[in-house]
Amino acid sequence: MAASSDERFKMLVAALDFGTTYSGYAFSFKGDYANDPSKINANTMWTTGSKSLFSQKTPTCLLLRPDKTFHSFGFEAEEHYSSLVDMDEHHSWYYFRRFKMLLHNNMDLTRDTKVRDESREKGKELPALDVFAHSIRYLKNHLLKHLKKKSVANLIGGEEDDEYIHWVLTIPAIWNDRAKQFMREAAKEAGIKSTNLSLALEPEAAALFCKILPLEKQTTESGTNLSMLKPGTRYMVLDLGGGTVDVTVQEVLPDHTLKELHKASGGAWGGTKIDEAFRQLIISIVGAPVFQEFQEKYPKDYLEMLQSFETKKRAVNTSSKDTFRIPVSLVELFEDEFGEKLDLIPSKTRHRGKLELNGDKLILSGEMISEMFKHSRESIVEHVESLFAHPFCKDVDKILMVGGFSECVIIQEAIKKRFPNKRVVIPPDAGLAIVKGAVLFGHNPKMIISRNTKWTYGVQTNRNFKPGDPPDKMFKVGNVEKCKEIFSVHIGVNKTVEVGTPLPPKRYRALHRDDETIDIPIYISSEEQPEFTTDSSCSYLGKLTIELQKSNSDREIEVGMTFGGTELVVEAKGTKNKEVCVAKFDFLESKDKQF
């Protein structure tokens, strides 16, 4: 007997954690989730190529052949690209890494957006949608092969029939709606049907996972034991990733669902900022021209230097010196160029006394290490401090630190030192909390009952011109003076909305009786009540194109927005017969097609 669509939909949930620096996946079956939600399988045995080591995740690196077809992803891509560089055969290949940040706060993102190859050679760029799709497709296929090896593929219809799988993609909570649609379209290009896909906000997913962990000690008559987060608990989730830092504040309700207390916030203060600080430190020692030549002549050494630092930075502290390796090729390049020993240079720079060089060893003082972490550390602490100053953070006494960068000792110590009265919780395998939580979200998205809007959302419309309106916004329809570019607010910033509950609709009318469509531009603003869409706080988000039905004689439609889910849903109806109009909402249109 064939399974119903709902049964098929819920048989297996698979989450893909597509990160800035590392990626991975996890999954669980419906039956296992019902019996024990914590029974989640994650692939933590990614092999690091010839080094014969294992990792919880694989690097977010993609290698394409000269004909732009897929070759490899992750550790395999890193290793093969290094081999190509050794043989000087890499120039026609395409190698991409850390490209996820292209989507962060990018209001110009379209389907035509390009991403540059890591070599930065002229002309070596490809459509970002293709690069993301290749990467998602690899993770998807790797998971399906993993299931086949575990002899469970037959339980979900086999590798060619993934209708039984519901897929979840993790995304930063601070991403805008353009980035969300971009990821959904990339997943579709990778072979995942939109009906079988959810987007999970990373800090929310981490919170769902932490909620099922024994995090709190309780003393009872039988002694001391561990319990999960209790109803009434208010806590902050600090999701520290490679690219972004996401912060949410939530409360556990009596029925164990989660309520968001404040809009998601954060910034680009993740682990890659430390990598860039290290890179700039090396440049300050050898000079930009030498460093540029080093990148071009010895790209393999350059990549290995960054990989080595990426691994070590999580364990360093500011209380003692630490040693980092720099390539001999860089040392020799500098000494050939300037005719003096590189070891002698630190004493002539502003870093005198803070670092020393001994051959291929770069020895940094605790003060120098602290300076490299300064921007990210202070940005994170100051942002968390600003949130705790708000009334909604009253009674919030726990900070859950998750994400790969949360394993960094320096960041942990900074949070604990600045907030001594808060309990800082770092779950085991904090880097897997998001992907495992995304699996839980896929099984039961209703665990999140409400969210807060990150912006004011509204529609650009017009109204009758009135005294005081800017003269340059006046136009005429017949003999009627109108005022253009009015921001018609549908909901204000940081307002609590229940998941799946539509907002009251607003009515809009076509300007001309012979119009067959209405274009409704959607705008966002950081202000509560913006007046015009041209205000500095406003940004164009996308356009809703509505085909008017012939029976709609008054040329009027109702537009309703549903917030609270991880994505914005818009519906349009005729005002008289309530027939649903054909509405296409597109956040990714090219600029030359915008309203």
Does the domain formed by 453-593 have CATH 3.30.499.10? no
CATH 3.30.420 residue window(s) in the chain: 5-201
pLDDT confidence of 503, banded at 50, 70, 90? confident
Task: Please compute the mean of the pLDDT values over residues 207-226 and round it to a whole number.
Answer: 61
Percent of the chain with pLDDT over 90: 52
**pLDDT, tens digit (0-9, with 9 covering 90-100), for 30-40:** 999 999 998 99
Instruction: Give the pLDDT confidence score for residue 463 in this predicted structure.
Output: 92
pLDDT confidence of 48, banded at 50, 70, 90? low
Instruction: Give the pLDDT confidence score for residue 54 in this predicted structure.
Output: 64
Structure tokens given for 19: 């990160």
**pLDDT, tens digit (0-9, with 9 covering 90-100), for 578-593:** 555 545 567 787 544 4
Q: Which residues pair with 252 in a beta bridge?
A: 258
Judged against a pLDDT cut of 50, whether residue 7 lies above it is answered with no
Residues 6+ away with beta carbon under 8 Å from 197: 166, 167, 168, 169, 184, 187, 188
Task: Please compute the mean of the pLDDT values over residues 86-91 and round it to a whole number.
Answer: 86
Structure tokens given for 523: 């705008």
**pLDDT, tens digit (0-9, with 9 covering 90-100), for 132-145:** 999 999 999 999 98
Residues 6+ away with beta carbon under 8 Å from 360: 325, 326, 327, 328, 331
Residue 383 and residue 247 in contact, taking contact as beta carbons nearer than 8 Å: yes
Instruction: Give the pLDDT confidence score for residue 126 in this predicted structure.
Output: 95
The rounded distance, in Å, linking the Cα atoms of 580 and 518 is 14
Task: Please compute the mean of the pLDDT values over residues 442-463 and round it to a whole number.
Answer: 91
The rounded distance, in Å, linking the Cα atoms of 400 and 252 is 14
Helix or strand holding residue 412 (H, E)? helix 409-418
Structure tokens given for 234: 């208010």
The rounded distance, in Å, linking the Cα atoms of 429 and 206 is 11
The rounded distance, in Å, linking the Cα atoms of 236 and 264 is 11
The segment with the largest mean pLDDT, out of 41-55, 302-316, 439-453, 511-525, is 439-453
DSSP 98-154: S-GGGGTT-TT--TT-EEE-TT--TT-EEEHHHHHHHHHHHHHHHHHHHHHHTT-GG
Structure tokens given for 209: 């996972």
CA 65, distance to chain mean position in Å, is: 27
Instruction: Give the pLDDT confidence score for residue 219 in this predicted structure.
Output: 41
Instruction: Give the pLDDT confidence score for residue 489 in this predicted structure.
Output: 94
Residues 6+ away with beta carbon under 8 Å from 195: none
CATH 2.60.34.10 residue window(s) in the chain: 453-593
Question: Exposed (0-12), middle (13-18) or buried (19+): which is 40, by Cβ within 10 Å?
Answer: buried
The rounded distance, in Å, linking the Cα atoms of 587 and 373 is 36
**pLDDT, tens digit (0-9, with 9 covering 90-100), for 176-214:** 888 999 999 999 999 999 889 999 999 999 989 988 877
Judged against a pLDDT cut of 70, whether residue 538 lies above it is answered with yes
DSSP 223-257: EEEEE-PPTT-EEEEEEE-SS-EEEEEEEE-TTS-
Instruction: Output 464 or 47, whichever has higher pLDDT.
Output: 464
CATH fold of the domain at 5-201: Nucleotidyltransferase; domain 5 (3.30.420)
Instruction: Output 131 or 427, whichever has higher pLDDT.
Output: 131
**Of 73, 135, 64, residue with least CA distance to 100:** 135
Task: Please compute the mean of the pLDDT values over residues 316-331 and round it to a whole number.
Answer: 91
Judged against a pLDDT cut of 90, whether residue 429 lies above it is answered with no
Instruction: Give the pLDDT confidence score for residue 215 in this predicted structure.
Output: 59
The rounded distance, in Å, linking the Cα atoms of 408 and 418 is 16
Task: Please compute the mean of the pLDDT values over residues 244-264 and round it to a whole number.
Answer: 91
**pLDDT, tens digit (0-9, with 9 covering 90-100), for 390-416:** 988 888 999 999 998 998 999 999 999
The segment with the largest mean pLDDT, out of 78-82, 215-219, 358-362, 374-378, is 374-378
**Of 60, 57, 139, 58, residue with least CA distance to 97:** 60
Helix or strand holding residue 371 (H, E)? helix 366-388
Instruction: Give the pLDDT confidence score for residue 46 in this predicted structure.
Output: 83
Max Cα–Cα distance, the chain, nearest Å: 84
Instruction: Give the pLDDT confidence score for residue 69 in this predicted structure.
Output: 96
Instruction: Give the pLDDT confidence score for residue 584 in this predicted structure.
Output: 56
pLDDT confidence of 2, banded at 50, 70, 90? very low
Rg of the chain taking only CA atoms, in angstroms: 27
Return mean pLDDT, the chain: 85
